[in-house]
Amino acid sequence: MREIWEFWAAVLANRGCGLVFVNKEGLIMTINGRATEFLGYGEYDLRCRKLTEVFPETRLAEVLTTGQEVSATLELGGRGVFTEYFPFRGSGEMEGVVILLSEDRSHQRQPLLDLYEKLLDDLPLKLVVVDAAGRVVTLNRNYVDLLGIDPVEATGRPVREVIPFTMLPQVLEKGKPCFSLGVYGGQDLLVSEYPVLGEHCRVVGAVGKAITQAEALNMHLEDFIEGFRLLEGKLHFYREELKQLYSSRNLFDRIIGESPPMRTLKKMMERVARGDANILLTGESGTGKELVAEAIHRAGPRGGEPLIKINCTAIPENLLEAELFGYEEGAFTGAVRGGKPGKFELANGGTIFLDEIGDMPLSMQPKLLRVIQERCFERVGGRKTIKVDVRIISATNQELEKLVEEGRFRLDLYYRLAVITLSIPPLRQRREDIHLLATAVLEQLQNRYGPIVKGISPGVLEAFTAYSWPGNVRELENVLEHAFNFVEPGEEVIEMRHLPPRFREGASRREGRELKDIVEQAEEAAVREALIAAEGNKQEAARLLGIHPSGLYQKLKKYGITEKGGRG
């Protein structure tokens, strides 16, 4: 089903229409490039993120609650965008919501009708949809072939005139599903039919499924796999188009920065993106490790496959295993019926991004190591071994080597994760990029709030350059968004008075050179000289400095110094 949605997402994008398919938990399962443009996220991969995080104005909750179609015109990125929400029902219950976005509302409905018709045709069943009065709304190709009827003539007729053996009139009357046997053209049929419920549980239509007994007996897993292979064939063309699109754009342009450290980082990213080795991203909080991981994934051979993200600190320890590896039905109290796939299954063929890997519980580390080494695992409560092919990109703002010394991180796991290590420099080490970053953030805010602010005053830019930015790029975004909300009507430029008080106080303390700055600069120079003298040997460098090795690690992290004394 996911492949079909992606196919139609590409088709609708070519028509200038954005498509988002959200599951009943509110997670984005499919989204095309046109929709990300409307939402102001460019080429970001929004799959598996909460829709409300990237589209706060959404009326998704209303649709999920009422089960009714909703439409609205919203101001997105300074332009009016017409949005329509359509509940999507599978086995009698809502499975999600289809959202269409377009600047031309006249072209919305027909693509959706085409989409649903195509979905019905691609499913390996005979399907019919009727309205509340029992009239045929649509038949899929498989049913048409069985009945030998013109689908145009069938549309609008009472369903019993088209399908003599159907029980749909009784389903509509009683509002309950019905399972029966039918015979047509000498073939025995297994038939399941169920009502479609609208607001206040009112029956608004019904759906019928049928399959011949011969098909049911012969239908094995291999048949379904073959069916999906056929669908993949239909997707081949648009996949190649996407590949060309990605190759024609420099994905690393999204990583803003022209300073020497950033140029070096981008070159390394381009090189490692071509391979398949696991990557460890290190750097302070707020430096953009997730954005770097996304760019590497998209530029690599797995770029057309899922990028699944998980924050190791955001999930309780007792739930982390189930989140990573999934679970079977009945594995624990509260487990959903039928079980649930984990992040590694969802990432199969693609990349999994493990953020804050340094906080992964010690009890989970051997299980992660096994997946990396053997490329297989079992769900919680399951016995079946599941094989996966994933690339792992992990990130941390901690010194993993120090955690290894303290017994809080496995050395063998560290070596498996850190086949390649990329260090993201903090903002204070690339001050040349601050102006570029501030301009880019301002453009994003203009797209979100409207072009009420035209620029940033020279005094603010000067203060930005002098500031140490302990929160890095994330703090810069926070400061500018705060200022955006405090610009008075008629004002078009961000001034110092618009900035948060904490920033103004921090900037004023840095006017002139404080003794602390001088001491830190001298300390940084001493550490670099010791590392050079020790030829990168940290134990020897610590001895030369007369400090404990753990203290040296802290200073290396503080100043972003590599083993040889250069910048990370």
Distance CA 116, CA 130 (A): 14
Q: What is the pLDDT of residue 99?
A: 87
Reading the chain (568 residues) residue by residue, the pLDDT tens digits are: 444 455 455 545 545 678 888 888 888 888 888 888 888 887 567 888 888 888 888 888 888 887 777 877 887 767 778 888 888 765 456 778 888 888 755 444 444 444 444 444 445 578 888 888 898 887 888 888 888 888 878 888 999 999 999 999 998 888 888 877 788 888 888 888 888 765 456 677 788 888 886 776 555 444 444 444 444 444 443 444 444 444 434 566 778 999 999 999 999 999 999 899 999 999 999 999 999 998 999 888 888 788 888 999 888 888 888 889 988 877 776 666 667 888 898 888 889 999 999 999 999 999 999 999 999 999 988 888 889 999 999 999 999 999 999 999 999 999 999 999 999 999 999 999 999 999 999 988 887 777 788 899 998 998 898 888 989 999 999 999 999 888 888 888 999 989 988 787 766 555 544 446 656 777 887 888 888 888 888 888 888 888 888 888 888 888 888 655 554 4
Q: Is 169 left (phi over 0), alpha (psi -120 to 50) or beta?
A: alpha
Domain at 427-509, CATH class = mainly alpha
- For tokens 């970053």, name the residue: 437
- The CATH architecture assigned to 252-423 reads 3-Layer(aba) Sandwich (3.40)
Contact predicate 222/228, CB 8 Å: no
Nearest to 491 by CA among 446, 445, 453: 453
Helix (H) or strand (E) run with residue 270 in it: helix 260-273
Contact predicate 496/458, CB 8 Å: no
- The CATH architecture assigned to 2-118 reads 2-Layer Sandwich (3.30)
Q: What is the pLDDT of residue 10?
A: 53
Contact predicate 128/163, CB 8 Å: yes
Common-topology check for domains 2-118 and 125-218? yes
Assign domain 125-218 to its CATH superfamily: PAS domain (3.30.450.20)
Q: What is the CA radius of gyration of the chain?
A: 29
447-451 contacts at long range (C-beta below 8 A, 24 or more positions apart): 447/40, 447/77, 447/78, 448/40, 448/77, 449/484, 450/75, 450/78, 451/78
Q: In what order do the strands lie in the sheet with 79-89?
A: 28-31, 18-23, 94-102, 79-89, 70-76
Cα 106 vs. chain centroid, distance in angstroms?
A: 30
Q: What is the pLDDT of residue 434?
A: 93
Nearest to 22 by CA among 51, 42, 1: 51
All structural domains of the chain with their residue ranges: 2-118, 125-218, 252-423, 427-509, 515-559
Contact predicate 141/42, CB 8 Å: no
**Which residue(s) pair with 129 in the sheet?**
138, 207
CA torsion angle 428 432 435 436 (round to 10): -110
Domain at 515-559, CATH class = mainly alpha
Distance CA 68, CA 35 (A): 22
- pTM here is 0.51
Helical segments of 90-220, H only = 109-122, 141-147, 151-154, 159-162, 168-174, 213-218
- Exposed, middle or buried, 208 (CB in 10 Å: 0-12/13-18/19+)? buried
Give residues with Cβ within 8 angstroms of 285, minimum separation 6.
397, 471, 472, 474
Nearest to 137 by CA among 79, 86, 200, 204: 204
The per-residue DSSP string of 205-236 comes to: EEEEEEEEHHHHHH--HHHHHHHHHHHHHHHH
Q: State whether residue 413 is helix, strand or coil.
A: helix
Distance CA 75, CA 451 (A): 12
Give residues with Cβ within 8 angstroms of 343, minimum separation 6.
308, 310, 323, 324, 352
Residues constituting the chain: 568
**Residue 275: CB atoms within 10 Å:** 14
What is the residue type of 385?
T
